[in-house]
Amino acid sequence: MPAVPSCILDPIRDQFLVLLPVREDRHPWGCHNPRISDRVVFDRLVQVLVFGCGYERVADHLCSATTLRRRRDEWIAAGVMETRRLLVLACYDRMIGLELDKLSADGCIAKAPSGGECAGKSPVDRAEQGIKRSQLTDGYGIPLVTEPAPANTRDHMLLPATLDQFADLEASLGPPPDHPRLSLDAGYDYSMVHLGLKARGIIGRIAPRGAKTPSQTGGRWVVERTNSWMNNFGKLRRCTERRRDPIKFFIALASAIIIVRCLLRRAWTLYRWDTRPRSLSIR
């Protein structure tokens, strides 16, 4: 059984392979070992993301763990995965439409037992090493920005960097709507957050500190659901990468899978195509 259904994985993989730069064979004699197919390596990296296992666990006689790490670093240097994520976002916006006038943000803490650049003492896990993802979504829960940071970083300290990346999406998605609403929980109820949102022209809907406010208030539940979607991937639920670039690589891959899954589910009732799934239940 594949790690991701073929109706989701195939379009992501095919478009990703098209974006890869052309590689020149510079060996003077042409007698080196044949290069492992990019398709094989991509499928193995998807298994690493979904199952959260080590590279040695998915390696076999067709592809070694060293090849997986080396090819991953090549793709990170080329920035192909981030380009693929932006293309998926643009496709979703064109076919379904992103609800950019209603935003939601929150932080999510996961384990990081190996430490690394994005790891810190977790305040909810007896000071064990952990990682925090600052998540920004649209009104439906589509992941727009995911910023990794140490687990002991406060949510409101990560919000400016998260919103800066959201502003950079204008090149791919077009100009954002005027005065969007941003739903936040009580962890963002600070004066610096209120002033920062006002300077950006964003209407903040922040739950007051000390008051019991359910997550349904202000539409904050969608980002909680997106955090749950992200935690379904073993590599993000228990991050064993030590460097920041591989973490962002797997976050971009997970975001692309989530967006394509949501696109298929919502397009199922709006469009008809030859490879349309028989059922709406796409896992």
pLDDT of amino acid 30: 62
Q: For residue 157, what pLDDT is reported?
A: 95
Q: pLDDT at position 270, please? A: 87
Record the tokens describing residue 262, joined without a space.
């949501």
- Residue 58: its pLDDT value, please? 94
Q: Which residues pair with 81 in a beta bridge?
A: none
Tell me the domains of the chain and their CATH numbers: 99-239 (3.30.420)
Round to whole Å and give the CA distance between 250 and 245: 9
Helix (H, G, I), strand (E, B) or coil at 149: strand
Contacts (Cβ under 8 Å, ≥6 apart) of 30: none
Find the helix or strand (DSSP H, E) in which 104 lies: strand 102-111
Token pair of 85 as six digits: 């994520």
What is the per-residue pLDDT for 180? 94
Per the structure block, which two tokens stand in for 154? 């406060």
pLDDT by 10-residue block (mean), the chain, 283 residues? 83 94 73 84 96 94 93 95 95 94 95 94 93 96 96 95 94 90 93 95 90 76 95 95 96 96 90 80 68
The pLDDT, as a whole number, for residue 143 is 97
For residue 16, the model assigns a pLDDT of 95
How many other CB atoms are found less than 10 A from the CB of residue 248? Answer: 18
